[in-house]
Amino acid sequence: MNKISRFIVILLAPAVFAHCSYSQNPSPQKTTKMDSSDKKNPVYSHTDSKQVNLSDAEWKKILPGDVYRIAREKGTERPWSSSFETSKEIGTYYCAVCGNPLFKSDTKFESGCGWPSFYEAISKSSIIYEKDNTHGMTRTEVMCGRCKSHLGHVFEDGPPPTGLRYCINGVVLDFKKAAEAEKKYNEKKQE
C-alpha cells in the first residue's frame, strides 16, 4: 500500500504545481506599492512607452525588496497574499516596476488560484511571452512589455472570450481607479 500511495503522490505532484507555482519563502512579506509620485524610481510612468533597460544593480537601488524579488529575480508571492486577488475596483492595473499599463479591471476574474487573474492583456505590446521550463514544468512566463519584469504566467484554462488565465503576482501590480468610477463612489459616499 505504501508503494501505491507514493506512486499516486509522484503522479499527481506535477498537476498540483502546474497552476501558478508557489516556490518562495513561506514567511509573509510586507508589500510595498509604488506610484508615479515616487521620486525614487525615475522610469515609472503611466504614459511613457519607451523600453526600459537597467542593470540589476540599478533596479535594486530603485525598487522595494519585495518588488525586486518578484520582478527581477522571477519570484512568486504567497498565494492569497495580494489584496488585488479579490478586488472588485474599476480601473487599470499597471506594472509596479515601470508604470506600463497591463490589464483593465473588466478582464479580471476569480480563478481560485490565489493570485490576481485576468483573461486579456490591455494590448499586444503590454506583455512579453517566454517559455519557462523551471520546476519540472513547461509554462509560459509573462513579462512587462516595457521593462521585461517578471509578472507571472499565462495558462490556457481561462474563461471566454480568450480562454486564457494570466496568473499575476500582485506585488508587481499597481492599480489606478477609473476616474468615472471614483467620482460615482465619492458622490454616493456624500449622500
Taking Cα atoms as reference points, which of 175, 171, 165 lies closest to residue 93?
Answer: 175
Taking Cα atoms as reference points, which of 63, 172, 34 lies closest to residue 115?
Answer: 172
Judged on CB neighbours under 10 Å (0-12, 13-18, 19+), 185 is: middle
The arrangement of strands across the sheet holding 139-144 comes to 108-109, 117-118, 165-168, 150-155, 139-144, 127-132
C-alpha cell at 178: 477609473
Active site residue 167: yes
Q: Which residues are part of the catalytic machinery? A: 167
